[in-house]
Structure 1
Amino acid sequence: MGERLAVVSGGGTGIGAAVARVLVSDGYDVLIVGRRADVLRTTADQIGADSGRPAAVVPVDADLTEPAGVERVAAAVDDRPVDVLVNNAGGYLGGDPATLTGTAAMWRANFDANVLTAVLLTQALGPRLRRPGGRVILLSSIAAQRGGGGPYSAAKAALHGWLYDLANEYGPQGITANVISPGFVEDTEFFGDRMTPEGYAKRVGATLVGRAGTPDDIAAAVRYLAGPHSGYVTGQVIGVNGGSVLGR
């Protein structure tokens, strides 16, 4: 068992799995959280085998929109200090906005998946964050900065406003809080079966570097923010998007 612990929500696939892999390689024990127990177990076993640290990744299946699910994660952490909390759970949830009832359901579902999951998990683990030296990282999206995703854009933008509260609260305790805002990242489940060759080409064409992002690109940014050289970086929205949205 390592001395440092990271918790990664949405850790079974895509960006979350890449984050877990890089943190394990840096010596962390990592607790990965998601709703699908089989996916989490497969990822944990694979990272453990590849790293030579079979017990380094602990899967916890939980619905983070529900307090009971968040309490399961807190129980799994037990009394260990949490060095890094990566709030990566979320995604775009569609619906039928043709009626007011459908619109309300769609917006609530996106808020719950992208905001409430992060709020509840951070509240539950906040007292366990290492002081000083803890790191809170929120995963947003360029949709928060340029629109285009309706309720998803609005939910991710809400994380930015909440970030500033977290940074103000935790800074005096030696804990940093930052947002990573990815652009188009391939090899994730985000688009499901919605992605077309035309849509892929359009998104790559919107970058300045002429390629899609990868989960490893985002994991590298997490590695920096989680590491010892980022202690003077807090309250920031860091774009990792190939230049598709320029910093302002």
Structure 2
Amino acid sequence: MGDGRVAVVSGGGTGIGAAVARGLVLDGFDVLVVGRRGEVLAETATRISAECGRAGAVRPVTADLTEPGQLATVVEAVGERTVDVVVNNAGGYLGGATDTLADVAGWWRANLDANVLTAVLLTEALRPALRRPGGRVLLISSIAAQRGGGGPYSAAKAALHGWAYDLAGALGPEGITVNVVSPGYVAETEFFGDRMTPEGHAKRVDATLVGRAGVPDDIAAAVRYLAGPDAGYVTGQVLGVNGGSVLGR
């Protein structure tokens, strides 16, 4: 990696995270992609760097961001460099049993850990290194935060909104912006695994006003704007990127 601007993207190995990483490389950033699957991260880092013609522009960092002790790996990878952008993309819907109250508690904790705690711990770990002024903190939420439908996943994503408002207030005086990107249905990701059916896909497309599913690059484009120099007056906002499935409010 060089001496240019630095971005850190969690959940950067596939889908939206990989698209965000690629877009930021195209915008001139050196990018650290963070996640639990080292082999996937390494393959993605090599591929994006080659596609963008910038050898070593993307560096993989293997860490489970739900474990506080593993955040040191990310901090060490950043080293003495200043962090310009943090994109908290790690998370997803985690299924679980609900037969007992203990099952319910475990299911909820797993979703809160994966979607909220990962963002909190990564942001707090990198907070001292954020560029002042000019730093950007971005949280990837979900349409489920606004319309429900995901149980603990919806609740976890909605929690990111409230935290973003607090964080924007705390970091604004230091010249750092904090915003949320809230995707709607995005195809070409691992989010649904083998749960998506042709009928489910069609239903979600029909719910949009534009008649198509989103793709990871749609979300990456929103992140690139909010991470860029033209968004310095935008903070404490939730940007819906959902094809009109949920109207702004």
TM-score by length of 1: 0.99
Query: How far apart are the structure 2 equivalents of 1:73 and 1:97?
Result: 35
Q: In structure 1, what is the equivalent of residue 85 of structure 2?
A: 84
Q: In structure 2, what is the equivalent of residue 95 of structure 1?
A: 96
On the 8 A contact 1:62/1:73 being kept in 2, the answer is yes
Q: Percent identity?
A: 75
| Alpha-carbon offset, residue 70 of structure 1 | 1.2
Query: How far apart are the structure 1 equivalents of 2:98 and 2:238?
Result: 30
Residue identity opposite 1:224 in structure 2: Y
Residue identity opposite 1:66 in structure 2: E
Q: In structure 1, what is the equivalent of residue 56 of structure 2?
A: 55
| Alpha-carbon offset, residue 71 of structure 1 | 1.3
Q: In structure 1, what is the equivalent of residue 160 of structure 2?
A: 159
Q: In structure 1, what is the equivalent of residue 170 of structure 2?
A: 169
1:108 aligns with 2:73: no
Gaps of at least 5 residues in structure 1 are none
On the 8 A contact 1:89/1:117 being kept in 2, the answer is yes
For residues 90-137 of structure 1, give each alpha carbon's deviation from its aligned partner in whole angstroms, at most 9, with x where no partner exists: 000000012111100000000000000000000000010000000000
Residue identity opposite 1:106 in structure 2: W
Residue identity opposite 2:80 in structure 1: D
Query: How far apart are the structure 2 equivalents of 1:22 and 1:79?
Result: 24
Taking only aligned residues, the RMSD between alpha carbons, in angstroms, comes to 0.5
The aligned length equals: 248
Question: What does 1:114-129 align with in structure 2 at a 5 Å threshold?
Answer: 114-129=115-130
On the 8 A contact 1:183/1:239 being kept in 2, the answer is yes
Query: How far apart are the structure 2 equivalents of 1:230 and 1:83?
Result: 13
Structure 1 runs (4+) greater than 3 angstroms displaced: none
Q: In structure 1, what is the equivalent of residue 75 of structure 2?
A: 74
Gaps of at least 5 residues in structure 2 are none
| Alpha-carbon offset, residue 54 of structure 1 | 1.3
Question: What does 1:8-47 align with in structure 2 at a 5 Å threshold?
Answer: 8-47=9-48
Question: What does 1:118-197 align with in structure 2 at a 5 Å threshold?
Answer: 118-197=119-198
Question: What does 1:232-243 align with in structure 2 at a 5 Å threshold?
Answer: 232-243=233-244
Instruction: Please state whether the residue corresponding to 2:98 is helix, strand or coil.
Output: coil
For residues 150-194 of structure 1, give each alpha carbon's deviation from its aligned partner in whole angstroms, at most 9, with x where no partner exists: 000000000000001110001000000000000000010000000
| Alpha-carbon offset, residue 2 of structure 1 | 4.0
For residues 172-229 of structure 1, give each alpha carbon's deviation from its aligned partner in whole angstroms, at most 9, with x where no partner exists: 0000000000000001000000000000000001100000000000000000000000
Instruction: Please state whether the residue corresponding to 1:229 is helix, strand or coil.
Output: helix
Query: How far apart are the structure 1 equivalents of 2:181 and 2:145?
Result: 11
